[in-house]
Amino acid sequence: MSDIENLGRKGGCFMGFLLFFLTFVVLVVSVYYKNFQLTF
């Protein structure tokens, strides 16, 4: 039973990290895009 709980905790941490990474990539891409638009 503890294996299932541990797997759920690992899955939650991985899901949170994936969401954070995705939002971070979107933020960086939008900032670069806005800077690129501003330059030209």
DSSP secondary structure string for all residues of 1-40: -HHHHHHHHHHHHHHHHHHHHHHHHHHHHHHHHHHHHHH-
Per-residue pLDDT at 39: 61
Token pair belonging to 40: 């030209």
The residue assigned the tokens 């806005």 is 34
Q: For 1-40, what is each residue's pLDDT tens digit?
A: 566 667 778 888 999 999 999 999 999 999 988 887 766 5
Tell me the whole-structure pTM to 2 decimals. Answer: 0.63
Per-residue pLDDT at 23: 98
